[in-house]
Structure 1
Amino acid sequence: MRIIGGKYKGRKLFSMPKRKDTKLLRPTTDRVKESVFSILDEYLEGVRFLDLFAGTGNVGIEALSRGAGEVVFVESDRRFCELIKKNLKTLGISPDKYRIICDDYTKALKKLASAGRKFDFIYADPPYEKGYYNRIVNLVKNFNLLDENGLLILEEPKSNPFLPNDIKWIVERRNYGTTTVTFLNFAESFSEE
């Protein structure tokens, strides 16, 4: 894995060695990451970005490299939380630019909501087979975690895309090989702009 653009372009990231006891990690591919960040690139300067199901921190670190003001990484596996720390430290990224929450995503989203946090972008790449998509969408919407013009970006399998409770929330849906990326916004005014 490598960083595709921005300040740390070309730098490699550490990944978890493959072992039987390591959960199956399916990192966001360079193709998907490059496509998503080419869409977001001009909007990233100074934003608050949430990397949900962060794994190695690949997506959130890409956001920091491209100018995000702050990234919150949420990952439930302590080994991956340590790997995110290692990647951030190796790149020399200042601790005031990020926060790592090593907890279940539902608990983490509740904590962030209780603290009054809002994000410009939330990127969620959950395990495809778990079927978390509607729950993620509903938690983000009900906890009001997005700024008015903020986007929830879901990475999902092209073979089984989900439909949210209201299809008007879908701003755009793009396919990249076997992956679909869905961009959602919950503000009534967003679709009218």
Structure 2
Amino acid sequence: MRIIGGKYKGRRLYSMPKRKDTKLLRPTTDRVKESVFSILDEYLEGTKFLDLFAGTGNVGIEALSRGAKKVVFVESDRRFCDLIKKNLKSLGISPDRYRIICDDYVKVLKKLGNSGEKFDFIYADPPYEKGYYTKIVNLVKNLDLLDENGLLMLEEPKKNPFLPEDNRWIIERRHYGTTTLTFLNFSQSNMEENNV
């Protein structure tokens, strides 16, 4: 895995050695990452970014490389939390620009919401087979975790895409091989613009 743009462009990231007891990791591909960040690139400077189901930290580190002010990494597996820390240290990224939370995503989102934290961008790449999408969308929306113009981005399987409660939340859907990227915004202005 490598960083594809920004300050740390071309730098390689550590990944988990393949072992029988290591959970299957499906990192965000360079093609998907390139697409996401070509869309976000001019808007990232000075923003707050949440990398949910962070794995190696691949997506959040790309955001830091491209100018995000702060990234919160959320990952439940302690081994991957340690790997995120290792990747950040290897790049010399200042600890005041990131936070790693090693806990269940539901608990973390509730804590962030209850403390009034808001994000410009939230990227969620949960295990495809777990069916977490509805829960993620409802938590982000109901806990008001996005700034008014903030985006929630879901990486999901193309063959079984998430169907939101309200289609007006969807800004755009893009397909890359077997992957679909869904961009959602919950602001009232978006709802009014997309109202048919």
Aligned counterpart, 1:120: 120
- DSSP 3-state at the match of 2:100: strand
State the alpha-carbon separation in 2 of the partners of residues 128 and 36 from structure 1.
Answer: 19
The CA deviation at 1:162 is: 1.0
Aligned counterpart, 2:169: 169
Aligned counterpart, 1:134: 134
Aligned counterpart, 1:159: 159
- Contact 2:169 2:190 survives alignment (8 Å): no
- DSSP 3-state at the match of 1:186: coil
Aligned counterpart, 1:75: 75
Aligned counterpart, 1:53: 53
Matched, 1:181 2:163: no
Query: Which ranges of 4 or more aligned residues in structure 1 deviate by more than 3 Å?
Result: none
RMSD: 0.9
The CA deviation at 1:190 is: 2.3
Aligned counterpart, 2:84: 84
Compute the TM-score of the two structures, normalised by the length of structure 1.
0.99
The CA deviation at 1:114 is: 1.6
- DSSP 3-state at the match of 1:164: coil
Percentage of matched positions with identical amino acids: 83
How many residue pairs match? The answer is: 193
Compute the TM-score of the two structures, normalised by the length of structure 2.
0.97
State the alpha-carbon separation in 1 of the partners of residues 114 and 137 from structure 2.
Answer: 18
State the alpha-carbon separation in 2 of the partners of residues 123 and 188 from structure 1.
Answer: 21
State the alpha-carbon separation in 1 of the partners of residues 38 and 127 from structure 2.
Answer: 24
- Contact 2:123 2:152 survives alignment (8 Å): yes
Aligned counterpart, 1:23: 23
1:91-114 CA-to-partner distances (Å, cap 9, x unmatched) read: 000000000000000001011112
- DSSP 3-state at the match of 1:140: helix
State the alpha-carbon separation in 2 of the partners of residues 162 and 111 from structure 1.
Answer: 25
- DSSP 3-state at the match of 1:189: helix
Q: Name stretches of at least 5 consecutive residues in structure 2 with no aligned partner.
A: none
State the alpha-carbon separation in 1 of the partners of residues 175 and 75 from structure 2.
Answer: 25
State the alpha-carbon separation in 1 of the partners of residues 180 and 160 from structure 2.
Answer: 9
- DSSP 3-state at the match of 1:6: coil
1:60-112 CA-to-partner distances (Å, cap 9, x unmatched) read: 00000000000000000000000000000000000000000000000010111
1:100-143 CA-to-partner distances (Å, cap 9, x unmatched) read: 00000000101111211000000000000000000000000000
Q: Name stretches of at least 5 consecutive residues in structure 1 with no aligned partner.
A: none
- Contact 2:74 2:101 survives alignment (8 Å): yes
